[in-house]
């Protein structure tokens, strides 16, 4: 049988030559000799020389009719991991491509499937695919696993169980996914044999017995079909189907039915020449025997995602027994058996049909690629698996797999775990090492997120996160934060405007007048109105003005002698919003003019970011297209001392010690220097730049005076920003 284990190099070479007469047998023999030498002295658990394993793996590859490169890599697949052979040596002897394949197989072998949870299995499978950028890596890995499963009985029971389980969860479905039906079936049967030996043995014996009993009947049916085909001038080879014990077992388990019920069914396969004839054949079968309703499946018109095509039907055959037929062309049969590997054959015969390739689902891209390539060799040289390369698979510290888009960062991962984790993440460890939040994670990474209750989402995160979940969560947080901020700033602005007009804010907000006004403006509550003020949509002067108008009338009525100011102009000392010099979430000292306490300042209501505080002579206030309505009166809250960094520029004679003297003058005025720089000019003058921490303009003035008293200093002045911008 063609799927039998290959045991020696000559057998391997003749199998290769059978389908590829021009193959470079010398290269294969060389790889065998290299492998035998590298594994010399090593034995398998069975006691056989180790090299028998790579030979058997290469043998499986000949069953899949792969190219020489894959077979060479199959012979060498364990040399990098288990022997002293190096990648350099391999490359020198066999070329880059072989090294790449061996390396890929080794890499997949290192993935440990830590969790066996069902829902994770698919992710692991995808991970394997994502790590292999060449489909041959996956095929060699499957061949490796198949031979290991064939020889599993030599291992300890616990190890056997572990490997069989992993095979059933990862590798058999992987074989199914790339459409190699016979590898999938054999892997599954071997898994059943080791995971559930009693069931396996019972099924094996019963199937054999049943088949024996049935031989006569099957022969009868075959003859009837063949006769009918001949009468209709149709070609078709009628065959029994190889038994797939795991498939029977699964059906029994899933549908809770007995062996007899599952197996009370003769299964035949008819292989014909053309797709048209598949349907013609189906007609012949249906005219011979009555089809069972609901059992006809047209996988030719609608192929399975792994490319499988066939017509399935079950009929009530002679003696009233059910007979199941699979009808397909030779080409379809090859796809069912070899899956992705069948397409090498396809290309050779130039028979890839566009219409078919459209139905190939996840393989479409792969096929399209193939069609773009000018010749066969080039195709073989560059079989890439691009399917899962836009995603990465990473682990939580507990070994749970998360799927993320390529380029994802720890922040994406944190949000994938929980919003709270995302909102408070301050850092991350990838494989135990601290990385920045914008670090790009890769498949196989284990990621641990570090959080702090003080951390909040940052706008900058939006620049590097990849998942829409993270983006949405960050934006949501920023928006609600902006809303809170606008509400708070709006309240403060309203209060100060009211105070400026001699009104007590607490009383006004209790009265209905403000609420009425809010409603007239289209806001349901006073808070909504305040938020609108804080966003700069409504000016406080406008609100308070309208509030005062009716009130003013009342007051005028009772106190006619007292004139009431309408909207005050100019700066009202007590009425302006207090700016605390230190950190105030609602207010930011603008970076363009860098105001410090003592400077005359103005507030500008930003959209959602609170107030930015500018110095009144900031050129940006005039230059930019500022909305005058958004400007508000503010003043420093001098009760809370604070430290501010200012830039100071000093021009001095270029002589030794001048920097030290200026520095000590600054320190002598109780100011800290956080940055200093000196440049020498061509006119023998030195320019000294400092960033100095001061508390207010008076302090700054003292510092500047102290600097100017230093011998050799010509001028000392404040700069709005470092290196004299503005």
Q: Would you say 285 and 325 are in contact if contact means Cβ atoms under 8 Å apart?
A: yes
Question: HSE-up of 121 (CA within 13 Å, CB side)?
Answer: 15
CB of 78 to Mn ion, least distance (A): 5
Q: Which is nearer to Mn ion, 81 or 488 (CB)?
A: 81
Rounded to whole angstroms, the Cα distance separating 352 from 75 reads: 30
Q: Would you say 423 and 473 are in contact if contact means Cβ atoms under 8 Å apart?
A: yes
* Backbone dihedral region for residue 596 (phi beyond 0: left; psi -120 to 50: alpha; all else: beta): beta
The DSSP code sequence of 187-202 is: HHHHHHHHH-HHHHHH
Residue 653 among the catalytic residues: no
Taking CB under 5 A as the binding criterion, the range among 144-152, 349-357, 485-493, 545-553 that sits at the site for Mn ion is 144-152
613 CB-near residues (< 8 Å, 6+ apart) = 579, 587, 588, 589, 590, 595, 601, 602, 603, 604, 634
CB of 45 to Mn ion, least distance (A): 13
Q: Hey, is 523 helix, strand or coil?
A: coil
Q: Which is nearer to Mn ion, 143 or 248 (CB)?
A: 143
CB of 50 to Mn ion, least distance (A): 9
Site for Mn ion in 236-275 (CB under 5 A): none
Q: Which is nearer to Mn ion, 78 or 189 (CB)?
A: 78
Q: Which is nearer to Mn ion, 142 or 178 (CB)?
A: 142
CB of 148 to Mn ion, least distance (A): 6
CB of 75 to Mn ion, least distance (A): 11
Taking CB under 5 A as the binding criterion, the range among 140-148, 188-196, 317-325, 596-604 that sits at the site for Mn ion is 140-148
CB of 77 to Mn ion, least distance (A): 6
Taking CB under 5 A as the binding criterion, the range among 72-80, 174-182, 424-432, 577-585 that sits at the site for Mn ion is 72-80
CB of 71 to Mn ion, least distance (A): 14
Q: Which is nearer to Mn ion, 109 or 572 (CB)?
A: 109
CB of 53 to Mn ion, least distance (A): 6
Q: Which is nearer to Mn ion, 149 or 577 (CB)?
A: 149
Rounded to whole angstroms, the Cα distance separating 711 from 647 reads: 21
- Phi, psi at 431, each rounded to 5°: 50, 40
Tokens of 273: 């020449």
Rounded to whole angstroms, the Cα distance separating 527 from 157 reads: 71
Taking CB under 5 A as the binding criterion, the range among 142-150, 377-385, 548-556, 680-688 that sits at the site for Mn ion is 142-150
The catalytic residue among 48, 81, 122, 488 is 81
The DSSP code sequence of 180-236 is: -HHHHHHHHHHHHHHH-HHHHHHHHHHHHHHHHHHHHHHHHHHHHHHHHHHHTT---
Taking CB under 5 A as the binding criterion, the range among 38-46, 139-147, 329-337, 621-629 that sits at the site for Mn ion is 139-147
Q: Which is nearer to Mn ion, 62 or 642 (CB)?
A: 62
Listed residue (629, 628, 684) closest to 651, CA to CA: 684
CB atoms within 10 A of CB 534: 29
Rounded to whole angstroms, the Cα distance separating 64 from 140 reads: 10
Q: Counting beta carbons within 10 angstroms of the beta carbon of residue 552, is it exposed (0 to 12), middle (13 to 18) or buried (19 or more)? A: middle
80 is an interface residue for Mn ion by CB under 5 A: no
Taking CB under 5 A as the binding criterion, the range among 136-144, 367-375, 438-446, 586-594 that sits at the site for Mn ion is 136-144
Q: Which is nearer to Mn ion, 166 or 696 (CB)?
A: 166
# residues near Mn ion by CB under 5 A: 2
Rounded to whole angstroms, the Cα distance separating 433 from 16 reads: 48
CB of 39 to Mn ion, least distance (A): 10
Q: Which is nearer to Mn ion, 51 or 385 (CB)?
A: 51
The catalytic residue among 4, 8, 10, 82 is 82
Q: What angle do CA 453, 455, 456 make, to 5 degrees?
A: 115
142 is an interface residue for Mn ion by CB under 5 A: no
CB of 92 to Mn ion, least distance (A): 23
Site for Mn ion in 369-408 (CB under 5 A): none
Q: Would you say 134 and 104 are in contact if contact means Cβ atoms under 8 Å apart?
A: yes
Rounded to whole angstroms, the Cα distance separating 89 from 70 reads: 18
DSSP for residue 355:
H
Rounded to whole angstroms, the Cα distance separating 696 from 462 reads: 36
Q: Which residues of 437-456 are buried (b: 16+ CB within 10 A; e: fewer)?
A: bebebebbbbbbbbbeeeee
CB atoms within 10 A of CB 563: 9
Taking CB under 5 A as the binding criterion, the range among 141-149, 248-256, 276-284, 562-570 that sits at the site for Mn ion is 141-149
CB of 195 to Mn ion, least distance (A): 21
Taking CB under 5 A as the binding criterion, the range among 77-85, 229-237, 467-475, 551-559 that sits at the site for Mn ion is 77-85
Tokens of 547: 């509030």
CB of 61 to Mn ion, least distance (A): 12
Q: Which is nearer to Mn ion, 146 or 586 (CB)?
A: 146
CB of 339 to Mn ion, least distance (A): 21
Q: Which is nearer to Mn ion, 144 or 166 (CB)?
A: 144
Residue nearest to Mn ion (CB): 144
CB atoms within 10 A of CB 342: 20
Among 78, 188, 189, 423, binds Mn ion (CB under 5 A): 78
Site for Mn ion in 569-628 (CB under 5 A): none
Rounded to whole angstroms, the Cα distance separating 672 from 691 reads: 8
User: Is the sign of the CA dihedral 515, 520, 524, 527 positive or negative?
Assistant: negative
Tokens of 383: 């079989």
Q: Are strands 611-615 and 601-605 parallel, antiparallel or unpaired?
A: antiparallel
143 is an interface residue for Mn ion by CB under 5 A: no
Residue 423 among the catalytic residues: no
Taking CB under 5 A as the binding criterion, the range among 73-81, 84-92, 628-636, 645-653 that sits at the site for Mn ion is 73-81
Q: What angle do CA 207, 213, 217 make, to 5 degrees?
A: 115
626 CB-near residues (< 8 Å, 6+ apart) = 604, 620
Distances (CA, A) of 329 to 11, 233, 336, 356, 597: 30, 16, 11, 13, 87
Among 144, 337, 412, 445, binds Mn ion (CB under 5 A): 144
Q: Which is nearer to Mn ion, 97 or 144 (CB)?
A: 144
Q: Would you say 179 and 340 are in contact if contact means Cβ atoms under 8 Å apart?
A: yes
Q: Which is nearer to Mn ion, 112 or 561 (CB)?
A: 112
Tokens of 124: 């692991």
The DSSP code sequence of 437-467 is: TTPPP-TT-BEEEEE-TT----GGGGGT---
Residues annotated as part of the active site: 81-82
Q: Which residues make up the interface to Mn ion (CB under 5 A)?
A: 78, 144
């Amino acid at each position: 049988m063609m799927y039998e284990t290959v045991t020696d190099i000559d057998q391997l070479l003749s199998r290769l030559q059978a389908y590829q007469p021009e193959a470079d047998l010398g290269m294969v023999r060389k790889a065998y000799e290299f492998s035998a030498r590298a594994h010399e002295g090593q034995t398998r658990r069975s006691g056989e020389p180790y090299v028998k394993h790579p030979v058997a793996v290469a043998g499986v590859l000949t069953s899949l009719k792969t190219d020489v490169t894959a077979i060479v890599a199959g012979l060498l697949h364990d040399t990098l991991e288990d022997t002293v052979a190096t990648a350099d040596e391999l490359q020198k002897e066999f070329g880059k491509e072989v090294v790449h394949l061996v390396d890929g197989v080794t890499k997949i072998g290192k993935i440990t499937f830590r969790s066996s949870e069902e829902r994770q299995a698919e992710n692991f499978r995808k991970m394997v695919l994502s790590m292999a950028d060449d489909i041959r890596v996956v095929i060699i890995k499957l061949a490796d696993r198949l031979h290991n499963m064939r020889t599993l009985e030599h291992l300890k029971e616990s190890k056997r169980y572990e490997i069989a389980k992993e095979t059933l969860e990862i590798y058999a479905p992987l074989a199914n996914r790339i459409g190699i039906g016979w590898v999938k079936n054999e892997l599954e049967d071997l898994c059943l044999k080791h995971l559930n030996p009693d069931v396996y043995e019972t099924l094996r014996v019963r199937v054999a017995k049943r088949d024996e009993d049935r031989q006569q009947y099957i022969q009868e049916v075959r003859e009837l079909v063949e006769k009918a085909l001949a009468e209709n001038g149709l070609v078709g080879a009628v065959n029994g189907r190889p038994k797939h014990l795991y498939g029977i077992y699964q059906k029994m388990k899933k549908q809770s039915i007995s062996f007899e019920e599952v197996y009370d069914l003769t299964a035949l396969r008819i292989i014909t020449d053309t797709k048209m004839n598949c349907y013609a054949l189906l007609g012949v079968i249906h005219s011979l025997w009555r089809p069972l309703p609901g059992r006809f499946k047209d996988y030719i018109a609608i192929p399975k995602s792994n490319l499988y095509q066939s017509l399935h039907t079950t009929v009530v055959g002679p003696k009233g027994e059910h007979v199941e037929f699979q009808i397909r062309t030779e080409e379809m049969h090859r796809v069912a058996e070899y899956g992705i590997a069948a397409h090498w054959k396809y290309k050779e015969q130039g028979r890839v049909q566009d219409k078919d390739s459209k139905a190939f689902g996840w393989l479409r891209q792969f096929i399209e690629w193939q069609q773009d390539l000018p010749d066969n060799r080039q195709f073989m040289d560059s079989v890439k698996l691009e399917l899962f390369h836009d995603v990465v698979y990473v682990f939580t510290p507990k070994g749970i797999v998360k799927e993320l888009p390529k380029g994802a960062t720890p922040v994406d991962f944190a949000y994938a775990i929980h919003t709270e984790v995302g909102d408070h993440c301050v850092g991350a460890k990838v494989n135990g090492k601290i990385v920045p939040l914008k670090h790009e994670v890769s498949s196989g990474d284990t990621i641990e997120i570090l959080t702090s209750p003080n951390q909040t989402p940052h706008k900058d995160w939006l620049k590097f996160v990849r998942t829409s979940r993270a983006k949405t969560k960050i934006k949501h947080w920023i928006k609600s934060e902006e809303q809170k901020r606008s509400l708070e700033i709006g309240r403060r602005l309203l209060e100060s405007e009211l105070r400026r007009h001699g009104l007590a804010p607490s009383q006004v907000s209790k009265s209905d007048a403000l609420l009425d006004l809010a409603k007239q403006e289209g806001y349901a509550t006073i808070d909504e109105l305040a938020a609108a003020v804080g966003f700069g949509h409504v000016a406080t002067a406008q609100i308070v003005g309208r509030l005062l108008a009716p009130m003013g009338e009342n007051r005028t009525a009772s106190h006619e002698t007292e004139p009431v100011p309408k909207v005050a102009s100019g700066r009202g000392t007590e009425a302006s919003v207090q700016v605390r010099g230190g950190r105030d979430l609602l207010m930011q000292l603008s970076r363009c003019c860098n105001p410090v306490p003592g400077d005359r300042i103005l507030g500008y209501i930003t959209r959602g970011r609170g107030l930015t505080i500018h110095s009144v002579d900031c050129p940006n206030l005039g230059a930019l297209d500022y909305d005058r309505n958004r400007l508000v009166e503010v003043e420093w809250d001098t009760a809370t001392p604070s430290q501010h960094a200012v830039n100071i520029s000093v021009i001095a004679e270029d002589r030794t010690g001048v920097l030290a003297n200026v520095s000590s003058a600054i320190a002598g005025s109780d100011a800290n220097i956080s940055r200093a720089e000196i440049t020498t000019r061509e006119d023998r003058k030195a320019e000294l730049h400092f960033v100095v921490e001061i508390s207010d303009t008076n302090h700054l003035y003292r510092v500047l005076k102290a600097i100017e008293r230093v011998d050799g200093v010509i001028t000392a002045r404040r700069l709005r920003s470092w290196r004299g911008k503005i």
